[in-house]
Amino acid sequence: MARTTGRNRHLALVVVSVVALSGVITGSLAKATEYARAAPVSSAEEPGAVPRDPAAPGELTPEPAATPTASATPDDGPVDASITHATEAGGRSVSITVDDGPDPVWTPKVLALLKKYDVKAVFCMIGPEAEARPDLVRKVVADGHRLCDHSVDHNTAMDKRSESYQEQQVMDARRMIEKAAGAGTPIRYYRAPGGAFTPYSRELAARHGMRPLGWSVDTRDWERPGVDHIVKAIEQGLADGPIVLVHDGGGDRGETVAALEQAIPWLKEHGYTFSFPKV
């Protein structure tokens, strides 16, 4: 009995010692972990290293993927800041550019006519008009046409205004058009109202992937000079270059639609093809 009791006492002392030692180790680890969490990041760590999750020491937490905002259009990269007056196809090709819309009456008529003759065009849109009619903007894109930023207020004297004003006109319109078209839709051109470009506005647009877009044939259809006048302006004006300017916004465009109905078949009969302006 005495030996058994001694052994039990010895065993009890061993157990107590192990428990005590375990407590010391646990306490030391806790203090070490606390110190590690409070300590500043070592300058030896690589920049951009994945941070550790304080709730799970020793485990790496992957960085969350970036979520693009709905209003962010990915730029295709800088383009030439000079004003383009050429087509992508070159040769005997023509670019139809349509300004000041989208308009609920005239834009669908222009789209139907272009579809009838299998012609693609560039639609230079006013920011608030695009914002008010996203269905039309998306129809333009769905039909295979390209979009162009034509400013917020169509101020033909914006070249006399400050750079901050020009930036607001160009970039706000771009955001409005892109939002209406759907995130990621490219806005490939910028056309200054009335041709009121400045070196600053051209560089700004080009930096965001929008080629400054000029014109060669000004039909002046916005003055409603008559269908025959508009048709003749197109037929005779191509000697000066291939970029044709017409309108689908800003008023009654019945003459424009009727003139295109005559001019497009005439162009095809005379060996012209249709191309987008050179970016």
Active site residues: 99, 247
Question: From CA 157, how far away is CA 100, in angstroms rounded?
Answer: 16
Tell me, rounded to whole angstroms, the distance of Cα 233 from its chain centroid: 34
Distance, in Å, from the CA atom of 131 to the CA atom of 134, rounded to the nearest integer, reads 6
Looking only at the bridges linking them, the beta strands covering 93-101 and 243-247 are parallel
What is the spatial distance between Cα 73 and Cα 54, in angstroms, rounded to a whole number?
36
Provide the residue count of the chain: 279
- For the chain, how are helix, strand and coil distributed in percent, rounded to 5? 45, 15, 40
Residue spans of beta strands (DSSP E) within the chain: 93-101, 121-125, 146-149, 189-190, 211-212, 217-218, 243-247, 273-274
In order of 143, 183, 209, 253, the CA distances from 74 in angstroms are 21, 9, 9, 34
